[in-house]
Structure 1
Amino acid sequence: MCLGIPGELVADAPEHPDLAVVEVGGVRRRINVGLLADEELRIGDWVLVHVGFALSKISQEEARAVLGYLEGLGRDYDDELDALRASDIT
């Protein structure tokens, strides 16, 4: 199952303006934020992440609600976190 997961922006990647670091469930990974170039993203913002891309900027309230739901899925959510751990955009 592939899910869009809320991630909090925790760092920029100045050497690659289309990349940023997000944290999801304690896992930090670089993702591509190029699709949201017009959003003026900042550290602390939340984005919906799918297959290594930030698809949309979302509110913290929406992020927390979605994370609560996803955590309730159990194994499917754990599988997504495992896939995120294994991914690497450099």
Structure 2
Amino acid sequence: MCLAVPGKVISIAGDDDPLMRSGRVSFGGVIKEVSLAYVPEVQIGDYVIVHVGFALNKLDEEEAERTLADLQQLQG
């Protein structure tokens, strides 16, 4: 089974080469460096779905917040 987690893009680097584009993404306050090569349209403030260090898709903010709330409830 695979798990992809939503996170908010807080900074972007490497705009010179789309394949090297990366961003710092916040997952409820935990910041990770993520590849943005698959989502060239993503901007700072957007939400993305991340799996094994790669942002796979841009996500609507409302859907991202709902998913994050659901994950928070699972933590108990």
TM range (shorter): 0.7 to 0.9
TM-score (norm 2): 0.83
Structure with the higher fraction of residues in strand conformation: 2
Kindly provide the amino acid, as one letter, of the partner of residue 5 in structure 1: V
Trace 1:9-24 onto structure 2 (pairs within 5 A): 9-14=9-14, 17-24=20-27
* Moved beyond 6 Å, runs of 4+: none
The answer to whether the 8 Å contact 2:12/2:21 transfers is: no
Any gaps of 5 or more consecutive residues in structure 2? none
- Aligned-residue Cα RMSD (Å) equals 2.0
CA distance in 1 between counterparts of 2:32 and 2:21 reads 14
CA distance in 2 between counterparts of 1:5 and 1:72 reads 15
In the comparison of the two structures, how many residue pairs are matched?
A: 73
Amino-acid identity (%): 40
Structure with the higher fraction of residues in helix conformation: 1
